Structure formats: structure tokens, C-alpha cells
Amino acid sequence: MKVFIVGIAGKVGIRLAERLVARGDEVDGLYRRPQQKEALAAVGIQATEGDLVKMSAAELAEAIRGSDVVVFSAGAGGEGGPEMTTAIDGDGMTKTIEAVQQAGIARLILVSAFPNALRERETSDRFEHYMTVKRRSEVELVDSDLDWMILRPGTLTDDTGSGRVSLSLALPYGDVPRDDVAETLAEIVHAPGTARTILELISGSVPAAEAVATFDRA
Ligand SMILES: NC(=O)c1ccc[n+]([C@@H]2O[C@H](COP(=O)([O-])OP(=O)(O)OC[C@H]3O[C@@H](n4cnc5c(N)ncnc54)[C@H](OP(=O)(O)O)[C@@H]3O)[C@@H](O)[C@H]2O)c1
């Protein structure tokens, strides 16, 4: 399977790329800093350098053409203020939807966010803006003619993953290691029958493959 990851050098992106390469998939993706080329080459990936903000949908379409599925895992990560959150998590996703359509690809998977994330702690205008933009991206994707899939992980940690998760249509809010998000995404990539589903993800006790199989209608 040929997979393109927008945000491939990110913490989730690289973990997903490693797992897909190990499964024998052909992996490409978009990264923006030249120095990330080496880290990607170290895991056997020749990815595409480019800035999601500066490139056009047509340029992105050229980069992703021929892929079976595209995963959007890019994000401003709070850097550059609300404008960059809008530009990357929001407009970047709009551009990716257009590019996927132009390239004639059916499947687009969005790494989104838990709707009530961090609500029990003190929140901020910056975070509320992030949640609004993520929601906008979800709405645009669901409204598209694509075989979309949305994964909403809880708060991401760098803890070592267990490979075991809790994945469902609605869950209590919690944390999840990026390793386990990547593990789950790798399974979703290989489960086209999860299309047109929104799933929430936190740490749990079910092996990721088993958890995803529950929602694979293929
Ligand atoms: N943090 C949380 O608790 C949480 C919870 C739920 C969902 N999420 C979402 O999960 C996703 C993955 O998170 P993560 O931890 O992997 O984040 P990350 O490590 O910050 O990865 C995001 C990637 O997007 C890339 N990116 C940003 N702007 C770009 C641009 N203009 N052009 C090309 N690439 C660009 C970044 O590039 P650089 O490496 O150059 O910065 C980075 O590699 C994000 O969408 C995030 O919003 C996060």
C-alpha cells in the first residue's frame, strides 16, 4: 500500500511512518525542515520537502498523486500563535482535502483532537481557538465526497506505548501515548472499512489491531 503522511516528521508522523515501513508499505510524506531529511532517511523514507502554508493545492496534489491513502498529522503545535493554527491545522487541512480530490485519491484520514480535551483544567483563548479550528477541519472533511476517517486521540504523551488502546465512538477523556496513536493509525490505514467513521482514542487494554477490526466494515 502507498501511504502519504502530511506532517511525516512530526512525533506521531514519524512513528506511523516507521510502523508502515515495517509492514512493507511504500511511505512518503510532507516535511518542511531540510534537517528532517536525514531522520527520515534513517528509517528508509525519501519524503517530500515543502511548506503546507506556502504550497498550492495543485503542488500538494502532485506530491500525493498515486497514493492509496493520505494521513493528515500536521499541526502548528501552538507555535506562531492563532494565525499559524488557522494556517496549518485549518487552511492546511482544507488544502489537503482539495489536493486529495485533485489527485483522484479516495481515502483521507485526519488526526484530530478530543472535543472535551483539557476541559477539566484551566483552558485559554489559544487552546479554544485550536479546538475551533480542529472542529472546522472535521466538518469540512465530513462534508466532502471522500472516504474520510477521523481519529480523535486524547492528550498525547511520549510514554512508551503498550500497543493496547481504548477505541470507540465516544469515550471518557484521557491520555494516550503517541506510540499507540501511531499503532492504531497503522491499523486504520489497512482497514478501508473504517471510512466515514469518527473514533475516539485513549489508552486501554485492547490490542490496537483488534480495536480497529471492531470498526472495519469491509
Ligand atoms: N498534543 C496533543 O495532546 C494532541 C492531542 C490530540 C491531537 N493532536 C494532534 O495530533 C497531530 C500530531 O501531533 P504531534 O504530536 O505529532 O505534533 P508535532 O510533533 O508537532 O507534528 C506536527 C508536524 O506538522 C508539521 N508542520 C507544521 N507546520 C507545517 C507546515 N507549514 N508545512 C509542513 N509541515 C508542517 C511540523 O513540522 P516541524 O517538525 O517542522 O515543526 C510537525 O512535524 C497534530 O495535528 C495535533 O494537533 C495533538
Provide the pLDDT confidence category of residue 107 given band limits of 50, 70 and 90.
very high
The pLDDT value recorded for residue 181 is 99
Is the model's pLDDT at 79 over the cut of 80? yes
Residue 26: count of CB within 10 angstroms of its CB: 14
Is the model's pLDDT at 121 over the cut of 80? no
**Cβ–ligand 1 contact at 51 (below 6 Å):** yes
For the segment 159-179, the average pLDDT, to the nearest whole number, is 97
Radius of gyration in angstroms for the set of CA atoms belonging to the chain, rounded to a whole number: 16
Measured in Å, how far apart are the chain's first and last C-alpha atoms?
Answer: 16
pLDDT tens per residue, range 14-43: 999 999 999 999 999 999 999 999 999 998
User: Ligand 1 center to residue 74 CA distance, Å?
Assistant: 4
Is the model's pLDDT at 118 over the cut of 80? no
Which is the catalytic residue, given 9, 130, 138, 153?
A: 130
How confident is the prediction for the chain on average, in pLDDT? 96
The pLDDT value recorded for residue 217 is 93
* Number of residues that this document lists for the chain: 218
For the segment 36-65, the average pLDDT, to the nearest whole number, is 96
Phi, psi of 199 (to 5 degrees): -125, 140
The pLDDT value recorded for residue 122 is 67
Distances in whole angstroms, Cα of residue 99 to Cα of each of 47, 102, 193 = 17, 5, 22
Domain residue limits, the chain: 2-213
> Atom 8, ligand 1: which residue's CA is nearest?
113
**Cβ–ligand 1 contact at 29 (below 6 Å):** no
User: Ligand 1 center to residue 211 CA distance, Å?
Assistant: 24
Phi, psi of 45 (to 5 degrees): -120, 125
The pLDDT value recorded for residue 50 is 97
Q: Closest Cα to residue 119, out of 156, 174, 82, 178? A: 174
**Cβ–ligand 1 contact at 14 (below 6 Å):** no
Q: What is the CATH number of domain 2-213?
A: 3.40.50.720
**Cβ–ligand 1 contact at 167 (below 6 Å):** no
User: Active-site residue 130, yes or no?
Assistant: yes
- Entry pTM: 0.98
Number of alpha carbons in the 13 Å side-chain half-sphere of residue 85 = 18
> Atom 43, ligand 1: which residue's CA is nearest?
10
**Cβ–ligand 1 contact at 53 (below 6 Å):** yes
